[in-house]
Amino acid sequence: MMRGKLRNHAYLIVPDAHEIEAHLDQPEPLTETDRLAKVLA
């Protein structure tokens, strides 16, 4: 992100887990806030 003068936008792209590895069980759903925290951790 950059230091925006008026605002900043962060986009979180979440692919469908079954499209990536269809043989795995679907992971538990996360909120957008939880997903962002996981990425930043």
pLDDT in tens, 4-41: 889 888 887 877 666 666 676 666 778 888 888 888 88
What six digits make up the tokens of 14? 């979440």
What six digits make up the tokens of 5? 């003068």
pTM (two decimals): 0.43
Parent domain of 30? 1-41
The predicted structure's pLDDT at residue 22: 65
The predicted structure's pLDDT at residue 5: 86
What six digits make up the tokens of 27? 């992971």
The predicted structure's pLDDT at residue 12: 79
Helix (H) or strand (E) segment spanning residue 33: helix 32-40
